[in-house]
Chains A and B, each alone.
Chain A
C-alpha cells in the first residue's frame, strides 16, 4: 500500500515571498504520478501541479514548481511570489501508473499568505 505524509500541518508566508511545502511518500512501485492539489475555503479541489515519476525534470506551472527526489521519495512544492489567493489547504497525492487507480492523499498543509 502507498502512503503519503505531510509533516507540516500549518505554514505561513508573507505576500510576495517564497514558501516550500514538504511531502514524502512510500511505495514499492516504480511507475507512478505525484500531484499537489489546492483546497481553498470553498472546499473545491483544484489541481496545482503534477509530476510523472519517470521524468527527471521537475514540473513547473507559472509560480508553482516541485522538487522531486525519487530516491528519497520526496516531493516538495515551491510557491514563488506568494499571493493572498494562495491561502488554502494543500494536499500532496500519489497515484499509480494504472488506469483508474485511486489517489492517495496526505494529511494536508494549511498555508496562510499574510499581507
Chain B
C-alpha cells in the first residue's frame, strides 16, 4: 500500500536556526497537509496545500513558516528561525480528494527538537 514518507525521523536544531522538514505524499494525491503535535497535547492543523498554493492555514502558521512543493514529489515545511516552542512532532498528510470521502493518510512524523 502506498505510504506518505517523511524525512528525517528526528531533527535536532539550535534556536534561531532554519529547518526544513520533508515529505513525499502519495503519488496520485492532490491535497497536502502539515500538522504538529506538541508532546502530550492534541494534534493541531498547520496548513493545507492544493494546486501549488496554500488553501488554508491556521493561526499557528505565521510568517516563520512556509511550505513548498519544489518538484513533482516533495512537499516541504520550512521554519525560518526556530524557537524552543517549535519542538514537536510534525506530521505530513495527503489525500486523494477525487471523491469527498477520501481520508487523510499520515506519514510517520518528524520529531523536531529545538535546543
Q: Is the CB of A45 within 8 A of B43?
A: yes
Q: Is A16 an interface residue (CB 8 A)?
A: no
Which residue in B89, B104, B108, B109 is a CB contact (below 8 Å) of A103? B104
Prevailing SS type, chain B contact patch: strand
Q: Is B5 an interface residue (CB 8 A)?
A: no
- The number of chain B residues with a CB under 8 A from chain A is 28
Which residues of chain B have C-beta atoms less than 8 A from A108's C-beta?
42
Q: Is B73 an interface residue (CB 8 A)?
A: no
Q: Is B75 an interface residue (CB 8 A)?
A: no
Chain B 27-71 interface residues, beta-carbon cutoff 8 Å to A: 31, 33, 35, 37, 41-45, 48, 50, 55-56, 58
Q: Is the CB of A45 within 8 A of B33?
A: no
- The number of chain A residues with a CB under 8 A from chain B is 24
Q: Is B87 an interface residue (CB 8 A)?
A: no
Q: Is the CB of B31 within 8 A of A105?
A: no
- Shortest CB-to-CB span from B17 to chain A, Å, is 23
Q: Is A15 an interface residue (CB 8 A)?
A: no
9 A-B pairs with least C-beta separation: A45-B106, A102-B45, A105-B43, A100-B31, A99-B97, A107-B42, A44-B108, A105-B42, A100-B55
